[in-house]
């Protein structure tokens, strides 16, 4: 369903949710949208790897350092002389993503600083990783390695670029702003024609002068024209909403709490394992439990999770991020049956207590807080349940009547984050 087709009741239920969809005001162009069938792999995949890595990883003060610290573009560009990563190993990274239970990935190919991590003739001033110290095409290495590992490959691209004064003043510095726009079109063309099948295109930063929304800047970027080009090059690519066009799915961003009802649209939450999107010298990470809790909160509301890591400037991945990925993998392995290929519901979640996913005649109850759940009765289900069991196969006693369903999960089977009960319907 497209966001514009939501009925009033559904919209009202969304408004009660803490999920913040960023680009609901995007311009419509239904002929650009993928069919439900073409979106299915993405909805089934549930979990993806995001990574922010580039020149900004070197100072280690976040990917906004150039702007936040008012570093002049020519000064910032000198970082490219030092960017020559020796520990970058996309095969290892793809292996880790798989071990974490991820089925797709999104690489930041060029952030707002303008440095392109590929051989980009369209880059303004030749600001890319081929024409500077590294002399390597990281997008090629990434797409080859991740595809080979069986992961779907996605590319993040920021149309805006702080190197252009026209970005900050597009109505007066029109010539300069149009150079930025030309770069955007040329680079999207490169990314969507030279690296084989691109499964996801993930825009960020279509807004202008850091004000308004991406859609407010549609007069400038012409996102319909831009994405018509993308569709010609990549007919089945799943496109996010942040170019100013509504896109194939909606985005929520950051580690805030997820509550409220199931969202009846395709949506994805992105957040980061480390405290920042990109490498920072303190190397702090979010507590693992908090990450997994947010993941479950999304899955039971129909959302995907795009989980970010922040490689070291030399390309290696800090050990505490690796450890988190491995634990997430163990969680996904144990509970994957109740996550991959499911839809949310049929029962609405009760915030942080339980939620549901389902596939065919199997209903998966995810109990997030056993103490709060212990004496609860689930609202009635239309379907007649013939068996309840845990994912290890042990049977669980249950009662289903006109008041609803109660299940008795023995204490020794309680899990701290997600006790999954599989309810099998007739």
Burial of 343 (0-12, 13-18, 19+ CB in 10 A): middle
CA distance 355 to 342: 13
Bridge partners, 250 (sequence order): 267
- Nearer Cβ to ligand GLC (42/162): 162
Q: From the centroid of its chain, how far is CA 85?
A: 25
- Nearer Cβ to ligand GLC (23/342): 23
- Nearer Cβ to ligand GLC (67/414): 67
Q: Residue 270 interacts with ligand GLC (CB under 6 A)?
A: yes
Burial of 69 (0-12, 13-18, 19+ CB in 10 A): exposed
In whole angstroms, how close is the CB of 51 to ligand GLC at the nearest point?
Answer: 11
Q: How is residue 68 written in tokens?
A: 């936040």
- Nearer Cβ to ligand GLC (207/331): 207
Q: Residue 268 interacts with ligand GLC (CB under 6 A)?
A: no
Cα dihedral sign, 113-19-294-103: negative
- The correct pick among 277, 331, 373, 398 for binding ligand GLC (CB under 6 A) is 277
- The correct pick among 190, 204, 252, 280 for binding ligand GLC (CB under 6 A) is 204
CA distances from 106 to 94, 112, 145, 197, 200 (A): 11, 16, 13, 13, 7
- The correct pick among 25, 186, 189, 253 for binding ligand GLC (CB under 6 A) is 253
Q: Residue 49 interacts with ligand GLC (CB under 6 A)?
A: no
- Nearer Cβ to ligand GLC (143/240): 240
- Nearer Cβ to ligand GLC (19/350): 19
CA distances from 146 to 43, 99, 105, 395, 418 (A): 19, 13, 8, 39, 30
Nearest to 249 by CA among 265, 237, 263: 265
Q: How is residue 106 written in tokens?
A: 């999104």
Q: Residue 115 interacts with ligand GLC (CB under 6 A)?
A: no
CA distance 248 to 238: 6
In whole angstroms, how close is the CB of 22 to ligand GLC at the nearest point?
Answer: 8
Binding-site string for ligand GLC from residue 307 to residue 326, where x marks contact by CB under 6 A and - marks none: --------------------
In whole angstroms, how close is the CB of 247 to ligand GLC at the nearest point?
Answer: 14
- The correct pick among 63, 119, 161, 248 for binding ligand GLC (CB under 6 A) is 63
In whole angstroms, how close is the CB of 205 to ligand GLC at the nearest point?
Answer: 7
CA distance 122 to 189: 9
In whole angstroms, how close is the CB of 232 to ligand GLC at the nearest point?
Answer: 26
In whole angstroms, how close is the CB of 278 to ligand GLC at the nearest point?
Answer: 8
Q: Which helix (H) or strand (E) holds 260?
A: none
Q: Residue 56 interacts with ligand GLC (CB under 6 A)?
A: no
Binding site for ligand GLC (CB under 6 A): 52, 63-64, 204, 253, 270, 277
């Amino acid at each position: 369903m497209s966001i514009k087709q939501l009925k009033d009741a559904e919209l009202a239920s969304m408004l009660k949710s803490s999920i913040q969809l960023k680009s609901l005001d995007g311009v419509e162009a239904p002929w650009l949208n993928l069919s439900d069938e073409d979106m299915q792999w993405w909805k089934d995949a549930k979990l993806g790897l995001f990574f922010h890595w580039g020149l900004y990883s070197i100072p280690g003060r976040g990917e906004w350092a150039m702007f936040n610290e008012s570093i002049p573009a020519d000064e910032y560009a000198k970082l490219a002389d030092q960017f020559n990563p020796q520990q970058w190993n996309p095969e290892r990274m793809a292996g880790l993503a798989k071990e974490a239970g991820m089925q797709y990935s999104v690489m930041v190919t060029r952030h707002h600083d303008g440095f392109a991590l590929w051989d980009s003739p369209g880059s303004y001033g030749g600001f890319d990783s081929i024409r500077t110290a590294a002399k390597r095409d990281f997008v090629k290495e990434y797409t080859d390695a991740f595809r080979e590992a069986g992961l779907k490959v996605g590319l993040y691209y920021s149309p805006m670029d702080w190197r252009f004064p026209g970005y900050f003043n597009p109505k007066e510095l029109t010539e300069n702003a149009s150079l930025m726009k030309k770069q955007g079109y040329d680079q999207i063309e490169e990314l969507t024609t030279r690296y084989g099948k691109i499964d996801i295109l993930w825009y960020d930063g279509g807004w202008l002068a850091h004000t308004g929304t991406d859609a407010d800047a549609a007069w400038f970027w012409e996102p319909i024209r831009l994405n018509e080009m993308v569709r010609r090059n990549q007919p089945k690519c799943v496109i996010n909403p942040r170019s100013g066009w509504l896109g194939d799915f909606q985005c929520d961003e950051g580690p805030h709490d997820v509550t409220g009802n199931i969202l009846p649209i395709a949506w994805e939450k992105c957040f980061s394992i480390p405290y920042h999107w990109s490498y920072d010298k303190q190397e702090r990470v979010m507590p693992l439990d908090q990450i997994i809790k947010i993941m479950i909160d999304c899955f039971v509301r129909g959302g995907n999770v795009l989980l970010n890591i922040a490689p070291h400037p030399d390309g290696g991945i800090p050990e505490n991020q690796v450890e988190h990925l491995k634990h997430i993998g163990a969680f996904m392995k144990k509970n994957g049956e109740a996550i991959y290929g499911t839809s949310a519901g049929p029962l609405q979640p009760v915030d942080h207590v339980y939620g549901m996913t389902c596939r065919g005649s199997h209903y998966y109850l995810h109990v997030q807080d056993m103490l709060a759940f212990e004496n609860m009765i689930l609202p009635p289900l239309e379907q007649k349940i013939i068996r309840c069991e845990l994912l290890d196969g042990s049977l669980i006693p249950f009662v289903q009547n006109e008041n609803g369903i109660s299940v008795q999960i023995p204490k020794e089977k309680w899990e701290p984050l997600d006790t999954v009960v599989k309810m099998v319907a007739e």
